[in-house]
Each structure stands twice: as structure tokens, then as C-alpha cells.
Structure 1
Amino acid sequence: MEIAENINLHMREIEDHFKAAISVDCVIFGYDESELKVLTLDCNMEPYLGFPSLLGDLVKNDENLDEAATRILFERTGITDVFLEQVKAFGETDRHPMGRVLTVAYYALIKVEDYRQNGQPRGIGAKWRSISQLNEMAFDHKNILDSSLHLLRKRLIEYPLWMKLLPKHFSLPELQNLFEAVLAKSIDKRNFRKKISKLGIIKEVGKKQEDVPHRPAKLYAVNEKKLREDYSFLLKNPFIS
């Protein structure tokens, strides 16, 4: 009898370990109006009612983490070709008021214009907020945002991720403004353009800005051929050193 009771106790302890839920939270970055922004919802759960929250969901039984993140992004943005990277897991025991929920964070980069064309009907209630508006968030989403932003800043100076945020054609000031918005610091204009010229990974498209209140700047596009031919050169010569 004692052996049977010990076995039952052990089985109940094991069952308790399987009662934690697993979720995925996505930090969806976009660049708009010279600001780095995040797609958010207003939380409808106490005690965080009205606080900005990230877009996320529980992981379904038939999907892995990457599949869950991809599903969430498509359901909320309507976009399938999205840059997505896993950040880390967050597992504080009191992070969710409904019980034990472990979450795995991802960050994604989308073009705001693509979202406006494809995602708004799906993302009912979702709104873009600038980083400066997100000092307080629901749950532990501020920590998730900070960790994701830290990783994005690291990646931005190593890889051409800016091409995932800018429109197809862009000006040099727009490119520099994007770097300054993400890195939260000023960049010397002359040195930045010198570095861009040395890398050779953008090219003029023979057009200028239209309908702007200042002198129209030349427009550029990503030099895909250069990236394909010599990507290792970019890794050895980051934009911001």
C-alpha cells in the first residue's frame, strides 16, 4: 500500500509539471515617420487593463515555436514574408495573472506600408506605438521589448536588416534616420555616407523624392547582386563600428 501511495504521489507531482502553458509573444517592429515603432494591443485583462501589450498567443498542440510565431504574425499582419528571430524565453512564476505561463519571445521586422495594405482588417484593435510611448506595458512585455530591442541593435550593425524596414526605394537621409532611431544615438552624416559608399550595397535608381517640403533627395535601392556576391565583406565591415 505504501509503495502504491508513493507512486500515486509521484505521478501527481509529474502531472503538476505538465500544467504550465507555453505561449509565444512577438515584438513586431516597424519604421514610420522617422520613428521605430511596435505593433501593440490594449490589454483587456486585469490588473493591466488598457496597458499596451505585445501580440501573442498560446502554442497549439500541433505546432512548434517557430510555427506558432509565424501563425501569430500572419493572423495579425496578413504578411507571410517576414523576418523573424527568436529572442529568449521568459519564465517568471508570477508573469501571468491566470497561472503559470512560459513565453518564448520573437522579434519581427515588417514594412509599415505592407501592413497598411494587408494587415489592418486582421489586426483589429492593433496600433503602432513608438518606442518612447512604451515605458509601461502589460505583464512582463516591457522586459520582452527591451531584450528584443537589444538584439535588434546588435543585428542591425552586423546584417542589412534595415532593408526589411525601409520601402523599396529610399533616400540616404531616410537610411541614416532609421539607424539613429533604432540605435537611439546620432550618427555623423559624413562618416555614415562614406561607409555606405565603401560597402557598395545600395545603388541609385535614377529617381528623386516627390512631394517633399525640402530639396528632393536621390533615391536608392538595395544592391542585391553585391549582397549575393560578397556578403562576407559586409560582415567584416559593419555600418556602425
Structure 2
Amino acid sequence: MTAPAQATLAVSTVIFALRSDAESDFKTLWLPLVRRTREPFLGQWALPGGGLPAGEELAMAAARTLRETTGLTPKYLEQLYTFGDPGRSPGGRVVSVVYWALVQSDEAAHAVVGDNVQWFPADRLPDLAFDHNRIVEYALWRLRTKVEYSRIAHAFLGETFTLAQLRDVHEAVLQKALDPANFRRTVESSGTVVDTGERVAGARHRPPRLYRYNDSVRAVALGPLGPSIG
């Protein structure tokens, strides 16, 4: 009787960053992909990742492969889901523990870019290797369900931010323009952000106020953030 083949354990990471998009009126989510340099799926784009060496912790492996392929060392790195369908890899069964990372625009600017590493809009991806299109779709769904009831938007921002910058995050994630006045009322009434009393330095006319998250208030659902524009 033939013994069943052992599954190979791997890690992959979905990295989201906000970037301007010529095809959109607002910032959109982008992610870096790496080109496969060996079979299976030679030449196709894929998520950054690799095998899990013996003795290396999952999160450490995810951070290492991400750093080696893209040069990124994100502050926010969280386990997303485990994908282990038997047919997901033609070379044998591979179980992938997927992490996701959210990076600020200035962090993303330091990513390695070249023939084998490129940024792509998250909603307009080519056919990826393995089941990586499905993985990205799942990550987008998780992000869009979390953004209105958690502080996950904070990962895209600095310690202080303007309400316009916070709205940029919500618009990019939800893929719709939000009414600025209604967004401001909803966020301010939620009590989840605090006016720091400071304003953006160097801005002309009326510099916008700077806010921070209110650590004394438990994250609450923001609810509908207003009608989309257009």
C-alpha cells in the first residue's frame, strides 16, 4: 500500500497600499506581485512567498520572504487564512498560510521594483499562479468588511491624519466616492477619533485639522458612511 504524499507547507503575503490611479477619481488599492522564475507557472505573476524551512515560525517566514522579494518590512502583518485545497498546486499538495500586510504610501515607495517585481491594482489583476487570484479576492473581502467597524484604516495612515486622508482610505477600500460632509459627521459623532488641536504645517489658507484615534473608546461600527458621489 502506497503511503500518502506529505503536504508541503508554505507562506504567502498579500500587501495592500494606497496609490493614485489614472483610471479613478480617488486613490485605489495596489499590491506587489513577483514573477515566477521556475515551474510550475513559470513566468506568471504570483504573491510574494515561499516554502517554510524547518524551525522557522510562520510570521517570521512571511516577513522574511516579503523582505527578500520586495524589500518591504511592514508594521502591520497579520495572518489572514490557510489555503489547502488538494488541487491548488500541480506539483503536489501545498498548504499555504497566507498573511496580509497594509503599508503606508511612503513605505510602499521603498519597495523593490524591477522585471520580476511590479505593482498592480488589486481589482484589475492578471491571471495569477496557483489560486492567488482567489486569495486576493478573499483578502479584499476581509478588508472591506473590516474597514467600517475596526481601526484597520490606521495601518494606512500615520499617528495623526486629516479626515480627508481617512476618507481616502475608506474610498479606496470600498471603491466608491463618499460625501465629505456626511463622512465627517459620521466619523466625528462616532467618538473614535480625537482632534489633536494641531493643523497640517505649511498648508495655505485654512490648514486642515489633524486627528488621532481615540484609544479610550472601543472600536465601533461606523455604519453607512454616506451616499456615493456620482
- TM-score normalized by the length of structure 1: 0.76
Correspondence for 2:13:
26
Between the aligned partners of 1:63 and 1:32, the Cα distance in structure 2 is 33
Between the aligned partners of 1:177 and 1:171, the Cα distance in structure 2 is 10
Corresponding residue SS for 2:34: strand
User: Could you tell me which amino acid in structure 1 is paired with residue 16 of structure 2?
Assistant: F
Note the alpha carbon deviations across 1:125-180, whole angstroms, 9 max, x for none. 32221123315222110000011111111221121111211345544333212212
Between the aligned partners of 2:203 and 2:42, the Cα distance in structure 1 is 43
Between the aligned partners of 1:240 and 1:164, the Cα distance in structure 2 is 21
How big is the shift at 1:219?
Answer: 5.0
Written as runs of structure 1 = structure 2, the 5 A alignment for 1:107-186 is 107-117=100-110, 119-120=111-112, 125-167=116-158, 170-186=161-177
Between the aligned partners of 2:211 and 2:119, the Cα distance in structure 1 is 26
Q: Which of 184, 188, 195 is the aligned partner of 1:203?
A: 195
Correspondence for 2:55:
62
Contact 1:52–1:134 (Cα < 8 Å) also in 2:
no
Between the aligned partners of 2:207 and 2:44, the Cα distance in structure 1 is 40
Contact 1:208–1:218 (Cα < 8 Å) also in 2:
no
Q: Which of 196, 208, 214 is the aligned partner of 1:218?
A: 208
Contact 1:171–1:217 (Cα < 8 Å) also in 2:
no
Q: Which has the higher helix share?
A: 1
Correspondence for 1:238:
222
User: Could you tell me which amino acid in structure 1 is paired with residue 63 of structure 2?
Assistant: T
Between the aligned partners of 1:164 and 1:135, the Cα distance in structure 2 is 26
Between the aligned partners of 1:220 and 1:77, the Cα distance in structure 2 is 32
How big is the shift at 1:203?
Answer: 2.8
How big is the shift at 1:50?
Answer: 4.0
How big is the shift at 1:40?
Answer: 1.0
What runs of 5+ residues in structure 1 fail to find an aligned partner? 1-8
With over 3 angstroms needed to count, the CA separation of the structure-2 counterparts of 1:90 and 1:238, relative to structure 1, is same
Corresponding residue SS for 1:133: coil
Q: CA RMSD in A?
A: 2.9
1:192 aligns with 2:179: no
Corresponding residue SS for 1:132: coil
How big is the shift at 1:113?
Answer: 1.1
Correspondence for 2:44:
51
What percent of counterpart residues are identical?
Answer: 28
Between the aligned partners of 2:206 and 2:31, the Cα distance in structure 1 is 29
Between the aligned partners of 2:158 and 2:119, the Cα distance in structure 1 is 17
What runs of 5+ residues in structure 2 fail to find an aligned partner? 21-26, 226-230
User: Could you tell me which amino acid in structure 2 is paired with residue 163 of structure 1?
Assistant: H
How big is the shift at 1:59?
Answer: 1.0
Between the aligned partners of 1:55 and 1:195, the Cα distance in structure 2 is 37
Corresponding residue SS for 1:40: strand
Between the aligned partners of 1:209 and 1:154, the Cα distance in structure 2 is 36
Contact 2:74–2:107 (Cα < 8 Å) also in 1:
no
